Amino acid sequence: MNRATLTAACLVAATLVASTAILSVAGPLSPPAGPVAPSHKTLAQVEPRTPISALPLVIASPGSYYLTGDLSVASGVAIEVQVAGVSIDLNGFSIRNSGAATHGVSSNQSRVRISNGGFHGFGQFGIRALGSDVHVSDVRVTVAAPGAVGINASGARAFVRRCSVSRPVGPDPSTEFGIFTQGVGAVIEDCTASGFEFGIYAGRSAVVAGCRASDCGIGIFLTQNTSVSDSTAERNGTGFYLVSNTVARGCVARDNDLGFRVDDGSVVTSCEARLNESGFFAYGSLVQDCVAADNATDGISASDGSVVRRCIVSGSVRGLSLNGSSLADLNACDDNSATGIAAANSDNRIEANTLTDNGNGINTSSSGNLIARNAASGNTTNYSTTVGDTYGPVLSAPGPITSTNFWANFGF
């Protein structure tokens, strides 16, 4: 190979190497087939919702809105929704009353959603959303003014989930509702209410679950045809008020004036009332598999077709009080200072209960009760009946039971 040939070969080789390196980073030079189209998202596609960055605001178009930061308003309504189908994501931020503002949100429209943030210090309502199908979730509301309401979602089918509403001080008769869902078919889940006259108010056919109410006049108020489960009420006037055919399961009332008020065909099962002034008050209802412990006056008071069954009642003045036409069976009443079971009116059936360490085991103050197959031990007086009652003989001899009377009551 002569020099000229060698030189040419070196140049070609070097050019090839360089071209290969350049081509490896440059990509194809030809445009793709088809019409020109954008290959990236627009900002509007990335965040298609409408930002809210100043108040007060009137929303007159349906859509999805979100806060861009904490906001305050000095008067009137912070956000007024005038159209159905609006979602407001507070985005973790809060809206505050900085003066004389009355409402955090006000709306009469349906399908309004409010989520993920707080409303603080409004004079009348944190949220006032009266249309149907309102959803409120993950919202904190604090109010201070007399008469203020935390969340009013009183249209049909309201859905309130993971919200908390509170007043900094105790119940005020002029301060009405923490969470108010008067419309049919509400769901209230995992919410807390503190410091209102009514902590949680649930209308017809509501479902309440996993909620807590404290320091209210009435903690959880259920009007009719409702279900409440796995909820607690503490330091209220009345913990749970079940107005009519409501089912309560797995609930706890503690340190209220009255733990459970249970009316008209309601069912309370597997619940506990402890350290209340009175534990349960049942009218025409069924209380079963419950515990009433350390309530000051009555553990369970039942009347007018009520059944109290398989309950433990202890540490009260009167453990179980029957006020007529009721049935108490298979209960255990222990350490109640006045009576284990007291029948103040007639037509009660008291059977197969166990009474220990009470003042009176069973005491009737009105005739016409049936008392059989109970066992009383360690009470100051085991049995005290009234003329006109029907009762099994009281057997008190220790040792083997020699009586064959199936209806005998035992006192030992």
Phi then psi for 25, rounded to 5 degrees?
A: -110, -10
Q: Does 131 participate in binding other proteins (rule CB under 8 A)?
A: no
Q: Does 297 participate in binding other proteins (rule CB under 8 A)?
A: no
Among 32, 37, 43, 400, binds other proteins (CB under 8 A): 43
- Token pair, residue 127, equals 């949220």
Residues 156-215 that bind other proteins (CB under 8 A): 156-157, 159, 161, 184-185, 187, 189, 204-207, 209
CA-to-CA distance for 73 and 27, rounded, in angstroms?
56
Among 264, 277, 294, 357, binds other proteins (CB under 8 A): 264
Q: Does 227 participate in binding other proteins (rule CB under 8 A)?
A: yes
10 Å CB burial of residue 198 (0-12, 13-18, 19+) is: buried
10 Å CB burial of residue 4 (0-12, 13-18, 19+) is: exposed
Expressed in angstroms, the distance from the first to the final Cα of the chain is 128
Contact between residue 127 and residue 136 where contact means Cβ atoms under 8 Å apart: yes
Q: Does 51 participate in binding other proteins (rule CB under 8 A)?
A: no
* Distance of closest approach, residue 168 Cβ to other proteins, in angstroms: 31
CA-to-CA distance for 276 and 253, rounded, in angstroms?
8
Q: Does 109 participate in binding other proteins (rule CB under 8 A)?
A: no
| Pattern 272-291, other proteins, x by CB under 8 A | ------------xxx-x---
* Distance of closest approach, residue 316 Cβ to other proteins, in angstroms: 24
Contacts with other proteins: how many residues (CB under 8 A)? Answer: 96
Among 89, 215, 234, 255, binds other proteins (CB under 8 A): 89
What is the sign of the dihedral through the CA atoms of 162, 165, 170 and 173? negative
Q: Does 229 participate in binding other proteins (rule CB under 8 A)?
A: yes
Between residues 216 and 292, which has the closer beta carbon with respect to other proteins? 292
Q: Does 304 participate in binding other proteins (rule CB under 8 A)?
A: yes
Q: Within 10 Å of residue 408's Cβ, how many Cβ atoms?
A: 18
- Piece in contact with other proteins (CB under 8 A), picked from 46-54, 100-108, 172-180, 355-363: 46-54
Among 72, 111, 144, 384, binds other proteins (CB under 8 A): 111
CA-to-CA distance for 326 and 347, rounded, in angstroms?
7
Q: Within 10 Å of residue 43's Cβ, how many Cβ atoms?
A: 7
Between residues 49 and 338, which has the closer beta carbon with respect to other proteins? 49
Phi then psi for 13, rounded to 5 degrees?
A: -60, -45
- Give pairs for 305-309: CB < 8 Å, separation 24+: 306/282, 308/282
- Piece in contact with other proteins (CB under 8 A), picked from 27-35, 91-99, 231-239, 391-399: 391-399
Residues 351-370 that bind other proteins (CB under 8 A): 368-370
Q: Which H or E run contains 6?
A: helix 3-26
Between residues 151 and 268, which has the closer beta carbon with respect to other proteins? 268
Q: Does 112 participate in binding other proteins (rule CB under 8 A)?
A: no
Q: Does 29 participate in binding other proteins (rule CB under 8 A)?
A: no
Between residues 49 and 56, which has the closer beta carbon with respect to other proteins? 49
Between residues 337 and 346, which has the closer beta carbon with respect to other proteins? 346
Q: Does 1 participate in binding other proteins (rule CB under 8 A)?
A: no
Phi then psi for 143, rounded to 5 degrees?
A: -130, 155
Contact between residue 180 and residue 159 where contact means Cβ atoms under 8 Å apart: no
Residue 107 carries which DSSP code? E
* Distance of closest approach, residue 115 Cβ to other proteins, in angstroms: 9
